[in-house]
């Protein structure tokens, strides 16, 4: 099987990214861009991001998860701590996050270090989730091999009966990570593949150094 994709072409010309138009803190530019992708209506899930970790087998692995909060401190997402992703982060908390918003021809690439958020924060978010999502977090032994789909569905039915009238507790193995960035790169598509790339790098004095990268 073979398919040549060399003929795929796209002209990037929707916007520009100039040093004179950005702030000293990358989180402020991220907020601006996030509001613009929301406003554009070009993405069903603007908070979808790729999380890349170095696995226990030595191979890097990327998967898409949903960003649930961002602050000046960094980016928060939730997962099963015992999953393949969670185990990889436990061994090596340095990871990469990336956002791709083709509708506005932009990418954001973040290098940072992950740490578990306080349990009360995970409790608060878990409580806000729909019942089905809460039960799904309990049912799924994420990343583990299972014999069939039916096994999951049967476990879900059992839990639905168990918690029919009661509060659903957050499992200890499920919660949030805060990714504290050390490098944030903003990419804006430009004509003739001469894209704009601005990179913020955290310095020892906790200020950010801004540099332009060749496309």
Which residues form the catalytic set? 193
- By residue count, the chain amounts to 215
Rounded (10°) angle between helices 149-162 and 131-139:
120
Q: Give yes or no for a contact between 12 and 191, defined as CB atoms under 8 angstroms apart.
A: yes
Q: Which two tokens stand for residue 93?
A: 């908390």
Count CB atoms within 10 A of the CB of residue 50.
14
Nearest alpha carbon to residue 79 among 71, 70, 68, 93: 68
* Three-state SS at 213: coil
């Amino acid at each position: 099987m073979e398919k040549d994709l060399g003929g795929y072409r796209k002209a990037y010309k929707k916007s520009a990214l100039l040093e004179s138009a950005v702030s000293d803190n990358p989180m402020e530019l991220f907020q601006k861009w996030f509001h613009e992708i929301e406003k554009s209506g070009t993405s069903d899930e603007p908070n979808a991001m790729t999380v890349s970790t170095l696995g226990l087998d030595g191979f890097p692995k990327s998967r898409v998860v949903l960003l649930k909060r961002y602050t000046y401190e960094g980016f928060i997402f939730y997962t099963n701590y015992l999953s393949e992703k969670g185990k990889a982060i436990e061994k090596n908390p340095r990871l990469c996050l990336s956002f791709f918003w083709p509708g506005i021809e932009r990418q954001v690439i973040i290098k940072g270090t992950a740490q578990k958020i306080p349990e009360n924060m995970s409790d608060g978010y878990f409580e806000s989730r729909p019942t089905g999502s809460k039960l799904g977090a309990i049912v799924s032994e994420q990343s583990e091999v299972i014999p069939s789909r039916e096994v999951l569905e049967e476990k879900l039915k059992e839990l639905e009966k168990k918690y029919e009238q009661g509060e659903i507790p957050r499992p200890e193995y499920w919660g949030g990570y805060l990714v504290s960035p050390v490098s944030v790169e903003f990419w804006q598509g430009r004509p003739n593949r001469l894209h704009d790339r601005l990179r913020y790098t955290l310095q020892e004095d906790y200020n950010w150094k801004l540099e332009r990268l060749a496309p």
